[in-house]
Structure 1
Amino acid sequence: MEHHLIDNTEKKQYEFQVGGHTPKIEYIKAQDKIYLTHTEVAKALEGKGIGSELVRQVLEDIKKNDLTLIPLCPFVAGYIKKHPEWRELVLKGINIA
């Protein structure tokens, strides 16, 4: 299932609209860097891959906009650990354990 990524700049979050819920990743942008600080998916949507799809689409947007990523959110860091092809976006020197 493909979801439409929304960059809600007013709320400083990327989000989907899914069945009355708003899965989101909160961020802070500073110059050419983006800090992903928190991911939230409603309990009703857990286990359906929506969080992973949200992270994937956010990473695509970060790459498209040539931003450097600082993944402060453990869910985002875990996704990048499982999908190392995205490590190129991460600020050099940041270790994703």
Structure 2
Amino acid sequence: MSSESRAAARPTRAVRHDEAAHRFEWTEDGHFCVLDYTLDGKVASFTHTGVPSAVGGRGIAADLVRTGLDTARARGWRIRPLCSYVAAFIRRHPEYQDLVD
């Protein structure tokens, strides 16, 4: 099974959206992981994805970004992938290309 297939088969985490802080977050084994964004009207700029190396390689960043992009779609937001990880994720998942501002 390829790593992409394993990632697709893995259940998505219940990532929390902290709207007041403009971030999506998850805590894994005591390590705080985030996807930060700014919001200007209906345009969300995804600025930073942070996953500590101690819990890296578990698909956490992908789950954070997927949740952020799905939230953007549901709310009618356009997105600016300023974070290099988010930009790479969108290149690998063209179903999100239509969200890019």
User: 1:52 Cα deviation (Å)?
Assistant: 0.8
Query: Cα RMSD between the aligned structures?
Result: 1.1
Gaps of 5+ in 1: 92-97
Number of residue pairs aligned between Structure 1 and Structure 2? 91
TM-score, normalising length from structure 2?
0.83
Q: Tell me, what secondary structure is at the counterpart of 2:32?
A: coil
Please list the CA deviations of residues 24-68 of structure 1 after superposition, one character each: whole Å capped at 9, or x if unmatched.
011100101100001000111111111111111111111011100
% same residue: 30
1:74 to 80, 84, 87: 84
Distance, in Å, in 1 between the alignment partners of 2:56 and 2:28 is 12
Gaps of 5+ in 2: 1-10
Judge conservation of contact 1:5–1:58 (CA < 8 Å) in 2.
no
Residue type at the aligned position of 2:74: K
Judge conservation of contact 2:15–2:63 (CA < 8 Å) in 1.
no
User: 1:73 Cα deviation (Å)?
Assistant: 0.3
Residue 66 of structure 2: aligned partner: 56
User: 1:2 Cα deviation (Å)?
Assistant: 3.1
Stretches (4+) displaced over 3 A: none
Counterparts of residues 1-80 of structure 1 (less than 5 Å): 1-80=11-90
Q: Which of the two has greater strand per residue?
A: 2
